Amino acid sequence: MPSTADEMFKKSPFGYALHKIVLDEKGKIVDYLFLEVNSVFEKLTGLKKENIINKKVTAVFPQIKDENFDWMSLYSKVALTEDEISFEQYFQPLKTWYNIRAHSPENGYIVTTFSEVSKKDEGFYRFAERSSDLIYRYNFLPKPGYTYVNRAATSIVGYTPEEHYMEPELVLKIIHPDDKQLFLDYIGGKLPLEKPIQTRWIHKNGQVVWLEQKNFPVYDSNGNLIGIEGIGRDITDTKNAYEQVIESENLFQKMLNLIPDMVSIHDTDMNIVYSNWNGFGEIPEEKRILQTKCYRTYRGYNEICPDCIAKNVFTSKESIKKEVELPEGKWVDTRIFPILDNDTNVEFFVEWVRDITSIKKSEQILAEKNNLLEGIINAIPDVLSIKYPDHTVERYNKKGYDILGIEPEDIKHKKCYGLLGKSQECQTCATNICLESKKPERVEKYVPELDIYLDCYSNPILDEDNNVVKVVEQLRDITSQKEAEKELEDAVLKANEMAVQAQHADKAKSEFLANMSHELRTPLNSVIGFSDVLLKGLKGELRNSQKNYIANINKSGRHLLNLINDILDISKIESGKIEPVYENFNLSTIFSETESIISPQANNKSIAFKIEKPRYDLEIQADKRQIKQVIYNLLSKP
């Protein structure tokens, strides 16, 4: 046990106390005893020596167990390590701030010397304890270490003030490795102490804490730097927010760089504050300079562009969108967005420019094609319509508008049958049929509202799910065709009636010819019969001239009989009853008979008639009577 206080301690202006630690059965320090105090201790604490010697601290000061400051742990470490610490701390049981120095003269023992702090320092400490910022004092001499740390340290870095006091090197252990050299340079005088620095610290729970520290040097009477007093503000949230802003800005920058169009931010003096240098703003690297005039950087003008629309946003304070054709022939889609300050004045504006030259050319080509297609559609003489499955009309071609007597604006939200003045769908509808079959369908119908016949052809347009989304319908006016068909039908009926009448007339003619032929053949047979009797000499011999005359009468009679038979044959042909009679005969006999009959008639008309007969007999198989009739008909033609 160390010796008790000597005369030096008794005469010391500081309070003095010697303690011995008390261990529990597990060897843990749970208390310490008062072994010796001096008179200044009695004066500063108001306690009498005889009332506290060999008593435990917790018995003398029961409130010490409830203090925020862990006196037991702090003094225990000093007693066990024989270390020395100095610090300022408020002692709750005595409600007083003390400047305390503690050391261990021997393992298991503690000597404390202390004095009350000045009223000025007490006011400072009261203020510091209420502060949410970290406030500290760190001595370099005579021994490095914290002499004061406020309670905010516990919430900011996770370590209590007593932990700071017990471990002078704690600062170097919890400083972030990447900021350690900066901190050493700072406290080593390589950086101005008065200048704030921002460093990262490792919280006791492992999280990174950002502190902005500002320190003030402490000098001794000789002007030597012996320590620093400082304040550290937790700027973790600010830093995280800033880093998020930076991250967001970097992400924003990356996103803008991906945009192929020019995105540029300008101030009201037309200076470029930001640009992604893409699209219309894609200029050489050496010209990509911020805070230069946009008109000079982007387009090489010395004054505001003559076609500038951004300047209008200063007065309107509203976004502007406009497609502009530039003098060099380019087309750009320009959009201006104002950024207003707190007084609603334009502070900056964002200019978004897209080169739409190719789009404009495509639109022109498309417009020309559309005009051509529109011309083709309107040139079609049939009615063309596009409508939805509910029969709402999307459009007609010119023929459709003309036949209905309406304009394009008249069909808005109208059904096709409604445009005819009807309240419901047509009874015969090609569209309804094709909606069911999902294939082209055709019907013909009479439309009384237009007094015309229509050939209706509906063609469905299907989506990828095979549902009908629209129907294209072609309507052809077939009124003239229907009228022609009616006329033809009437003509056929009339022709049929005439044919019946002709059949009746032909029948009457055939009956007449048959009757007349019978009446003629009866006397003709008598002539032929009597001439045969005369030629045979049954009534006496005839002279040669008489024989010739009677022979001619007989031949002519027979020829006339054949003619009558031919008339009957014509009747049979017309009735489909004639049949040829084939036989073998010599053509010369036919020519001789023909010559004897035709010659007298030719002589009467002074016509020389002669038949050149074949030099040899020519036999054929045919209907002899019809052959003779053909020859007679040929010779009888004029």
DSSP of 319-355: -EEEEEE-TTS-EEEEEEEEEE-TTS-EEEEEEEEEE
pLDDT recorded at residue 38: 92
pLDDT recorded at residue 37: 92
The residue type at 566? D
Burial class (CB in 10 A: 0-12, 13-18, 19+), 332: buried
Confidence of residue 317 (pLDDT cuts 50, 70, 90): very high
Does the pLDDT at position 505 exceed 80? Answer: no
In the chain, the N- to C-terminal Cα span, in Å, equals 181
The region of weakest confidence among 101-105, 311-315, 346-350, 586-590 is: 586-590
pLDDT above 70 coverage of the chain, percent: 93
Which tens digits make up the pLDDT trace of 585-603? Answer: 888 888 777 777 777 777 7
Cβ atoms of 106 and 3 within 8 Å: the answer is: no
pLDDT recorded at residue 124: 85
The DSSP letter of residue 94 is G
Does 70 or 515 have the greater pLDDT score? 70
Does the pLDDT at position 7 exceed 70? Answer: no
Does the pLDDT at position 291 exceed 90? Answer: yes
For residue 172, CA distances in Å to 197, 292, 595, 612 come to: 16, 47, 160, 156
The region of weakest confidence among 189-203, 359-373, 505-519 is: 505-519
pLDDT recorded at residue 567: 67
324-341 average pLDDT score: 89
478-505 average pLDDT score: 85
Which tens digits make up the pLDDT trace of 602-624? Answer: 777 778 777 777 777 788 888 88
pLDDT recorded at residue 340: 93
pLDDT recorded at residue 3: 58
Residue 104 CB coordination number (10 Å): 21
21-25 average pLDDT score: 87
Phi, psi of 243 (to 5 degrees): -65, -35
Cβ atoms of 310 and 268 within 8 Å: the answer is: no
Q: Which of 63-67, 93-97, 537-541 is predicted most confidently?
A: 93-97
Of the candidates 244, 224, 173, 242, which has an alpha carbon nearest to the alpha carbon of residue 203?
Answer: 173
Quote the CA–CA distance of 435 and 441 in Å, as a whole number: 9
The region of weakest confidence among 127-141, 215-229, 246-260, 523-537 is: 523-537
Provide the token pair at 471. 């129907």
Which tens digits make up the pLDDT trace of 27-82? Answer: 788 899 999 999 999 999 999 999 999 999 999 999 888 888 888 888 888 888 77
Q: Coil, helix or strand for 106?
A: coil
pLDDT recorded at residue 241: 87
Does the pLDDT at position 233 exceed 90? Answer: yes
- Domains assigned to the chain: 7-232 (3.30.450.20), 259-360 (3.30.450.20), 382-477 (3.30.450.20), 523-636 (no CATH)
Does the pLDDT at position 468 exceed 90? Answer: yes
Cβ atoms of 232 and 159 within 8 Å: the answer is: no
pLDDT recorded at residue 608: 79
Does the pLDDT at position 513 exceed 70? Answer: no
pLDDT recorded at residue 568: 64
Does 631 or 393 have the greater pLDDT score? 393
pLDDT recorded at residue 517: 64
Quote the CA–CA distance of 17 and 38 in Å, as a whole number: 7
Phi, psi of 13 (to 5 degrees): -75, -5
Spatial neighbors of 452 by CB under 8 A, at least 6 apart, are 446, 477, 479
The region of weakest confidence among 261-265, 322-326, 567-571, 617-621 is: 567-571
pLDDT recorded at residue 133: 93
pLDDT recorded at residue 636: 67
| Helices 479-535/544-574 angle, 10° precision | 150
Q: Coil, helix or strand for 204?
A: coil
Confidence of residue 272 (pLDDT cuts 50, 70, 90): very high
Whole-prediction pTM value? 0.46
The residue type at 247? E
Of the candidates 31, 39, 118, 40, which has an alpha carbon nearest to the alpha carbon of residue 76?
Answer: 31
Confidence of residue 553 (pLDDT cuts 50, 70, 90): confident
Quote the CA–CA distance of 482 and 480 in Å, as a whole number: 5
The region of weakest confidence among 236-240, 302-306, 553-557 is: 553-557
Residue 9 CB coordination number (10 Å): 21
Percentages (nearest 5) of helix, strand, coil residues in the chain: 45, 25, 30
Sort strands 84-91 and 96-103 into parallel, antiparallel or unpaired: antiparallel
Tell me the DSSP string of 392-453: BEEEE-HHHHHHHT--GGGGTT-BTTGGGT-SS--SS-HHHHHHHHSS-EEEEEEETTTTEE
341-369 average pLDDT score: 91
pLDDT recorded at residue 431: 92
Cβ atoms of 40 and 14 within 8 Å: the answer is: yes
pLDDT recorded at residue 472: 94
